[in-house]
């Protein structure tokens, strides 16, 4: 994995890009959804990847004609995730890139996750201290596929979006980066996806 020679700033998604949390998130969502009679498939998980916690529940309400309290179900899911998040491995081709370019190019994390769990995840994979800039779900009104998360990262780095390179694993993240006018790398080609095995 390389950095585009035109890049002046690097932006990384977190879940599924730096940290292989997706299988743990999937199991947490599946278990939480089952409580409400929803079959949370891997296809559904892929479709919703990148959407913050409570808006995901709102989307499930729309898809399944439910009236679930987003905070109630979201908190159940988050507790499930946090119980197992210590098992999260780093996604080495991407984290190696972070370590290589740390201190050379400005870097930021742009995630749909909460700030608290994102910081905890970075600590688990040994990347706490590598990022001064973290834009989480609490920091924007419009989440991916809207470009706001990545645009905010660019602003905080002081880099024009056209010179930012985004590393992502989710369809909504790809859309967000492209809408922002940024270069984008699909990191899934560099590691084997373990969801659904």
What residues are annotated to the active site?
Answer: 13
Q: Which residue has the tokens 């899911």?
A: 77
Cis peptide before 145 (omega within 30 of 0): yes
* Cβ atoms of 107 and 98 closer than 8 Å: yes
Q: How many CA atoms lie within 13 A of 85 on its CB side?
A: 20
> Packing angle between helix 70-84 and helix 22-34, nearest 10 degrees?
140
Instruction: For residues 106 and 125, give the distance between their C-alpha atoms in angstroms, rounded to a whole number.
Output: 20
Considering only CA atoms, give the Rg of the chain. Answer: 16
* Cα–chain center distance at 31: 20
How many H helices and E strands in the chain?
8, 5
The DSSP secondary structure of 74-86, one letter per residue, reads HHHHHHHHHHHGG
């Amino acid at each position: 994995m390389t950095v585009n020679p035109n890049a002046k700033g690097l932006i990384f998604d977190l879940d599924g890009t730096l940290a292989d949390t997706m299988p743990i998130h999937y199991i947490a969502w599946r278990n939480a959804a089952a409580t409400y009679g929803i079959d949370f498939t891997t296809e559904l998980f892929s479709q919703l990847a990148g959407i913050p916690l409570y808006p995901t529940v709102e989307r499930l309400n729309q898809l399944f004609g439910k009236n679930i309290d987003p905070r109630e179900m979201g908190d159940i899911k988050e507790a499930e995730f946090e119980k197992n998040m210590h098992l999260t491995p780093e996604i080495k081709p991407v984290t190696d890139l972070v370590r290589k370019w740390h201190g050379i190019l400005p870097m930021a994390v742009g995630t749909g996750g909460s700030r608290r769990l994102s910081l905890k995840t970075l600590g688990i994979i040994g990347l706490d201290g590598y990022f001064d800039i973290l834009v989480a779900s609490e920091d924007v009104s419009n989440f991916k596929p809207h470009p706001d998360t990545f645009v905010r990262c660019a602003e905080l780095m002081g880099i024009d979006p056209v010179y930012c390179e985004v590393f992502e694993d989710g369809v909504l993240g790809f859309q967000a980066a492209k809408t922002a006018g940024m270069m984008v790398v699909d990191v899934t080609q560099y590691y084997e996806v373990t969801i659904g095995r």
